[in-house]
Structures are given as structure tokens and as C-alpha cells.
Chains A and B, each alone.
Chain A
Amino acid sequence: KAGVTQTPRYLIKTRGQQVTLSCSPISGHRSVSWYQQTPGQGLQFLFEYFSETQRNKGNFPGRFSGRQFSNSRSEMNVSTLELGDSALYLCASSLGQLDTDTQYFGPGTRLTVL
């Protein structure tokens, strides 16, 4: 079974721009979660989507948004980029059962904001 895939793997943007990252979950997985990893803050939960609906959300500003499509693929968007948004963005997929199940992570997208 193919794992979680994320595109692009690397991205360079400038302040004020917006960016869209994509995540394709493991086949059969209906939940997709997004995390931001930075040296200072570590791994932080952004949001989770299940069946095209946002089911849970972390403490990030509204500039961070996401969506999920009917095939469970997910995108996250960051508008008006700031230098502090430079990070590794990780996507994870799981079956999405109500009881917490195991999340499997993709390789991440490394975003650099100049």
C-alpha cells in the first residue's frame, strides 16, 4: 500500500504571498491531519479533516485553512505569509474512527518564507 504523499516537497515563497500544500492519504483512510514543525515550537497540530469536514482545530490564526475532497485528499492554505511560517508541514492520515486511531505521516513539505 502506498504511504501518505505530500506535494510539493520544498517551497520558497516571499512574505505576503499565499501557498497551497497538498496531501494524499493512504488508500482507505478518511481522516487527514496537518501539523507544523518548527525548531522553536516543535510539532503543533493545525487541524483535522474527516469526510470533507473539519473535525478538530488547533490554535493557529485564520490565515491557516484547509479543506478535504471527496477522495479524502486534503489541501492546506496559508495566506499572507509571514517569516514565522517557515516550517516543515506534515500531513498524517488515519482511518478516522471516532476512537483515536494511529496516524501515519507523510514526508512533509518544507516551506521557506523569505
Chain B
Amino acid sequence: AQKVTQAQTEISVVEKEDVTLDCVYETRDTTYYLFWYKQPPSGELVFLIRRNSFDEQNEISGRYSWNFQKSTSSFNFTITASQVVDSAVYFCALSEGGSNQGGKLIFGQGTELSVKP
């Protein structure tokens, strides 16, 4: 069965600290997709990144970086030099390939990140 686990419910850091959000997933499929979304207090989920199961290259986008490791079924997200504007709930999500899985994202419980000035 598909499952996404974000063990960290809440994280609090001081501005400029680096922070890593953990995500562990379970799936029996060989083709799958992993996502990170950010949910600020306004409620809208903002897409951050998508990774497919065949692409294990790490990705960096500005202060954000992602570490995908199939061997440990993890897709961790690091924010470098955190800022107050990074405060939000972050969700990791999984989707399996195949036409019958279209549109179905399995979300983790989310990690609430609080960045204090």
C-alpha cells in the first residue's frame, strides 16, 4: 500500500538556520512520483518540486534542495539560511504511475515549520 510518513510534526528554527524536513514513502510500484508542496496560512498548496522514481539526482533551487534516495525510500527537503517567509506547513506527496492512478496524491501528515526572527 502507498504511504507517506513525515515524522516531524513541528519544527522551530531561528532565522538563517538550515533545516531539513524528512519524508519517507512506501510503494510497491517501480514507477512513481514524489512531490513537495508548501501550505502558507492562506491555505493554498504551492507546488515546489516533482521527482520521478527514475531520477535520483539531487536538485537545488535557490535556498531549497532535495535529496532523493531510493535505497532508503526517502525524499528529504532542506532549506538553507531559513527566512521568516519560509514559515508554513510542508507536505510530501506520492503518486503512482499508470492511467488508473491519475490525479491521486497520497500526502504525508505535514511538517509545520516556524522560522523565528
Contacts and interface: CB of A to CB of B under 8 A. Distances in A.
B117 interface: no
A98 B99 contact: yes
Interface in A9-49: 31-33, 35, 42-45, 48
Interface string A44-64: 110010100001101000000
A45 B91 CA distance: 14
A90 interface: yes
Interface residues of A, number: 29
B70 interface: no
A67 interface: no
Interface residues of B, number: 28
A107 B50 CA distance: 20
Contacts of B98: 98
A103 B101 CA distance: 13
A1 B33 CA distance: 25
A58 B35 CA distance: 19
Interface stretch (B10-18, B39-47, B56-64, B71-79): B39-47
Contacts of A58: 104
Contacts of A110: 43
Contacts of A88: 43
Interface in A81-102: 88, 90, 92, 94, 96, 98-100, 102
Nearest to A41: B109
Interface of B: 33, 35, 37, 42-47, 50, 91, 93, 95-110
Shortest Cβ-Cβ A-B pairs, 7 listed: A48-B103, A105-B45, A33-B103, A43-B107, A98-B99, A107-B44, A100-B95
Interface of A: 31-33, 35, 42-45, 48, 50, 55-56, 58, 88, 90, 92, 94, 96, 98-100, 102-108, 110
